[in-house]
Amino acid sequence: MDLELDKYTKEERIISIKRANIVAIFLMIGLFLLVAPIYYILWKENMMKGFNFSEGSLLNLIYQIGFIVMLTLIHEFLHVVGFIIAPGVGLKDTKIGVFWKKLTPYAHCKVHLRLDYYKFALLLPNVALGVVPLMLGIIIGSNIMAFWGGFMFVCGVGDFMILNLLRGLPKDTLVSDHPSEGGCLVYLPEK
C-alpha cells in the first residue's frame, strides 16, 4: 500500500505482555465463575463428561500441549487471514512468529491497514476460536467445546487490550503492527 505518511502523525500504542498475562488469569477466573453455573443449570449431567482426571498420563499431557500449540497456530493464522482480506495485502506481507523472550506468539502484517481492517484482523481468531465455540458449547451441551472456547477467548486477551487502545480513533486512521512489542503503530490523519 503506497501511502503519503507525511500527512499522518505517528503514535505508538503498546501493551505490557506481563499485564496481559495477569489480566488473562483474572479473566479466566471470571469467565469460569460466569459460565460454569450457566452450563451446570443447562447441562448438569454433562458437566464433567469427557474430562478424565484419573488418568494423568504423560501421553495425555503431551496431547493437551499439542492441542494448545495447534490452536495457537490456528489463532495466529486467522490473524493472517484477517490481514490479507484488506485491499492490497498479500500473504507475502504477513509473518507468523514467536517473541521467544516473552514466549508470545504473534502474527505480523508488514503494511499499514485501515483501522477497520486492523480491528477485524484482531477480532477474527478470538471470535472464531473463542466466542463461537464457547457459546456453541453452552448451547449444545459440549463441555469440552465450551472449555476450549473459553480458553481461547482468554488467550486472546492481548488482542482485546490492543483493540482497547484503538477505541475512539478516527476511521481514516492507519495502523501497522509494532515491529518489536505487543501493540501497534497508529497513523492519525493531520487535520
pLDDT digits (tens, 9 = 90+) for 139-181: 999 988 999 999 999 999 999 999 999 999 999 999 999 988 8
Ranges of each domain in the chain:
14-43+58-168
State mean pLDDT over 105-133: 96
Q: In this predicted structure, what is the pLDDT of residue 124?
A: 98
Q: In 3D, which of 134, 132, 125, 189 has the Cα closest to residue 163? A: 125
Q: In 3D, which of 123, 124, 146, 155 has the Cα closest to residue 24? A: 155
Backbone angles phi, psi at 164, to 5 degrees: -60, -35
DSSP letters along the chain, please? ----GGGEEEEEEE--HHHHHHHHHHHHHHHHHHHHHHHHHHHGGGTTTT---S---HHHHHHHHHHHHHHHHHHHHHHHHHHHHSTT--GGGEEEEEETTTTEEEEEESS-EEHHHHHHHHHHHHIIIIIHHHHHHHHHT-HHHHHHHHHHHHHTHHHHHHHHHTTT--TT-EEEE-SSSSEEEEEEEP-
Percent of the chain at pLDDT > 90 equals 70
| Amino acid (one-letter) located at 72 | T
Q: In this predicted structure, what is the pLDDT of residue 80?
A: 97
pTM: 0.88
Work out the pLDDT band at 32, boundaries 50, 70, 90. very high
Residue 124 in grid coordinates: 477474527
CA 179 to chain centre: 18
End-to-end CA distance of the chain: 22
Q: In this predicted structure, what is the pLDDT of residue 157?
A: 95
∠ CA 93-96-97 to the nearest 5 degrees?
Answer: 135
